[in-house]
Structure 1
């Protein structure tokens, strides 16, 4: 049978089923015990009746004729007896046969279960003191069952009639017991989508308090997520307005320019603004994908090869600023990672050094490996960041004061998220070798990096 869909129905069905099973088991035990006690009692009556008949010595005189005992009670046909003297029937009840109820010339004393005239009988056989008198007293087995049913009827029927009342009482008790769950459901259903305050259920039972606490924690996480998304959207809109406004202004300059050199300069500035807006959109999309995606599938990746490829792509920009860029990579610089994400990590770190280090600066990239893992270090000879600015690097859209190069401040957020996805650590400080900014990323693995999912 398919269980009810509601918790109240399930509890009611379970409690009723258990109650019915216990009642049936109790009734079966009571039936068995009552049947045993009744058999003991009636067997004792049979033995006592046989003893009385044997002690009276009815029919001891050989000249006595056979006598039929009178019927004195309406239950008398259910009981029968016989008295034999020297194997001759001298006394019997009207419903007793003329042959001995227990077959055999010398029937042993005691109880016997026999079948007479299609009926099952319980017969007790006994001998007189002289051994020439034999008495049989029997009772129909069916009469015992009728007596047992009559005895138990008074106890069973009231319970059976009380089962509907029990079911009604259980329904009321279960309904009252699950009322806090209904109250909780109604409180959640009445809430507006923007209402993420904790639930006010001070009288909640201890069984559902963990659920209420979990819902409050969920509301808190959702509220924090929505707040971050609102702040992110506002900041992103603010950052996008700047390059769009610059593009519009340069386009207006180009339209109003008279000389070709002015028009060309305005168009180049327009292209630079488009590039800045494109870069900002790409970084926003990457950061959104990193925060929404699940943990990436990690495979062995040669970090040194990834760094060489990325630095080759950024070399023209570095040469245009007359910067020197070098890579020092040890052997077997293998990490368990996602190659596109690691390429984005190296690109953001190196591009940040190229863009914000002054012209003629040195940029060094080092990759070392040991038994504990792989270290990626990017440092430059620029001015670096003050201690207060280093603490704010984790904030979105933060840019150090005095920066001339255009940027959005999203690169560091992307770098942090990529390192976290790879189970690594990220640190930023002042380079003791070059004096500028030094960013170090530590990855677990090394040359024994295994594939992880």
Structure 2
């Protein structure tokens, strides 16, 4: 069965269909039960009538003359009886045939038979008399029983049939009243400003609609968060890109106006540095946008030690230029489950921040260690560190602790936190008890690997 698309019409079709089906089944069962009871009642009347005739034949004298019984009731033509004495028809009703309606049988046992005589179907009860030469037959036309059954069922079913339209209207009203909260929700949503993302509130919403409202409100919350992030990303990107672009423009203007080749070269170097800063900022913005969209990539078994060695090797020239001591303490392999590109970006951002914000001749230690079921990456330095207030603000986009900080995008910590969250890692920042500067610890769930997969004797 193809149901209508409208929920109200679907409920009406289902409810009225079920009511009609139940009503029809009940009517059929009532018909069968009433017919059975009427047959039993009328069969008992036939048996009682036959018993009376048997008793009457015992009290009367033998008489070979056939007599017709008078018609005393309108149903009398539909009921017949016969009394046979020594095979001859004696007392009988006017419409009785001249031959026995059914053979009594050799055992002369009283029995009911349904027979067809002269195109009509009869229900006949045959019984022997008290004397062996007397047979008594009482019959009733089946159509009379059908007429009685129809009269009884008509009296019982017509009121119920007449109530069906009333029931259908009541069902329509009840269903329409029941789905009215959906129409109320439709009107509420139709009146809303398309830009509105506040929660939908309905004071008298039924319990069944509450999950729908909760899901709708959660959807609005997610859309609002996405739009806020997009607006914040656009505004922040425009604001942050303005500075390197202005610096590039200024250096380019100086290079164009400067006749001295050495000074012009110095300005052009500034242009290149500005381009590098802008490119780095764009890369950071794109990575952060990817993380905001939930695109953390496919996870696989990743060796953090190898990623740390590669990231430190790339950053080491800048650390050497500042006469810093950059050291790595890591086992042969330290395996976690994650995305290699994102995890390398996390390590690179932490080490780059330590190198960038630590003064010359500072010490920077990077270590990897196994602590129970966790793998801990620690980056600490001997720089000035951060105050408790600044530690609380770490992770805010474009936040920079001090105005005199070296150039940077201010997005590194936001990226680190998002990557850690995507990998189920915990991140903690505090003052380093060993070096006095900033200590950052990122705790990853250790990956379960077989002994055959170990690549070093110094695994985490």
- Name the TM-score, length of structure 2 as normaliser: 0.91
Preserved CA contact (<8 Å) 1:356 1:403: no
Q: 2:108–2:128: 8 Å Cα contact kept in structure 1? A: no
Q: Is the 8 A contact 1:370 1:446 kept in 2?
A: no
Output the CA distance in 2 between the equivalents of 1:433 and 1:447: 32
- Tell me which residue corresponds to 1:149: 150
| SS of the residue 2:400 aligns to | coil
Distance in 2, matches of 1:288 and 1:106, equals: 103
Instruction: Map 1:304-315; keep pairs closer than 5 Å.
Output: 304-315=305-316
Paired residue secondary structure (2:208): coil
* Counterpart contact for 2:255–2:263, Cα < 8 Å: yes
CA offsets per residue over residues 156-181 of structure 1, 9 Å max, x none?
Answer: 23433432332233122211211110
Question: Using the alignment, how far apart are the partners of 1:370 and 1:401 within structure 2?
Answer: 34
Partner of 1:195: 196
Q: Deviations along 1:180-233, whole A, 9 cap, x unmatched?
A: 101102211331222122334223233323433443343334334433432332
Partner of 2:238: 237
- Deviation track 1:65-111 (CA, whole Å, cap 9, x = no partner) reads 22344555554442221101233211233443333223125531243
The residue that corresponds to 2:304 in the other structure is: 303
Gaps spanning 5+ residues in structure 2: where? Answer: 454-460
In 2, Cα distance between the equivalents of 1:265 and 1:102? 133
Deviations 1:421-440 (A, max 9, x none): 11111111122222221211
Aligned to 1:207: 208
Residue 11 of structure 1 corresponds to 11
Change (3 A) 1:84 1:58: farther
Match of 2:89 in 1: 89
* Whole-Å separation in 1 of the counterparts to 2:63 and 2:422: 118
TM-score (norm 1): 0.92
Question: Could you say what secondary structure the match of 1:36 adopts?
Answer: helix
Asked whether the 8 Å contact 2:124–2:138 carries over to 1, the reply is yes
Which moved further from structure 2: 14-23 or 278-287? 14-23
Query: Is the 2:80–2:138 contact (alpha carbons within 8 Å) kept by the matching residues of 1?
Result: yes
Instruction: Using the TM superposition, name which of 39-48 and 221-230 deviates more.
Output: 221-230
- Conserved in 2, the CA contact under 8 Å of 1:394 and 1:413? yes
Say whether 1:39 aligns with 2:39: yes
Q: Deviations over 1:320-379 (max 9, x none)?
A: 222222211124411111111111111111111121111222222111125412111111
Aligned to 1:384: 385
- Between the aligned partners of 1:13 and 1:294, the Cα distance in structure 2 is 46
- Determine the C-alpha separation between the residues in 1 that align with 2:446 and 2:29: 69
Aligned equivalents of 1:409, 1:133: Cα separation in 2:
122
In the alignment, which residue of structure 2 is the partner of 1:400? 401
Partner Cα distance (2:295, 2:81) in 1: 92
Whole-angstrom CA distance in 1 between matches of 2:42 and 2:121: 15
What is the alpha-carbon root mean square deviation over aligned residues? 2.5
Q: What is residue 292 of structure 1 aligned with on the other side? A: 293
Find the residue that maps to 1:51 and give its secondary structure.
Answer: helix
- Alignment-derived partner of residue 110 in structure 2: 109
1:312-351 pair list within 5 angstroms: 312-351=313-352
- Larger mean Cα displacement after TM superposition, 257-266 or 239-248: 257-266
C-alpha displacement of 1:143 = 2.4
CA contact (8 A) 1:58 1:83 kept: no
Deviates more, 1:225-234 or 1:41-50: 225-234
Map Cα deviations across residues 389-443 of structure 1 (whole Å, 9 max, x no partner): 1111021110011443101210001111111111111111122222221211111
Instruction: Tell me if structure 1 keeps the 8 A contact 2:306–2:333.
Output: no
- The residue aligned with 2:254 is 253
Indicate yes or no: 2:185 matched with 1:184: yes
Whole-angstrom CA distance in 2 between matches of 1:449 and 1:192: 58
Distance 2:334 2:86 in 1: 118
Gaps of 5+ in 1: none
Deviation of 1:58 (Å): 8.8
Structure 1: 4+ residue segments shifted above 6 A: none
- Give the whole-Å Cα distance in 2 for the aligned partners of 1:449 and 1:411: 35
Assess if the C-alpha contact under 8 Å between 1:375 and 1:441 holds in 2.
yes
Q: Identify the residue that residue 458 of structure 2 maps to in structure 1.
A: none
Q: In 1, Cα distance between the equivalents of 2:295 and 2:114? A: 80
Residues 434-453 of structure 1: pairs in structure 2 closer than 5 A:
434-446=435-447, 448=449
| More off after superposition, 113-122 vs 259-268 | 113-122
1:259–1:449: structure 2 CA closer, same or farther, 3 Å change rule? farther
Asked if structure 2 preserves the Cα contact closer than 8 Å seen for 1:250 and 1:267, the reply is yes
* Contact residue 328 and residue 367 of structure 1 kept, 8 A: yes
Corresponding residue number in structure 1 for 2:456? none
Q: Distance in 2 between matches of 1:272 and 1:290?
A: 27
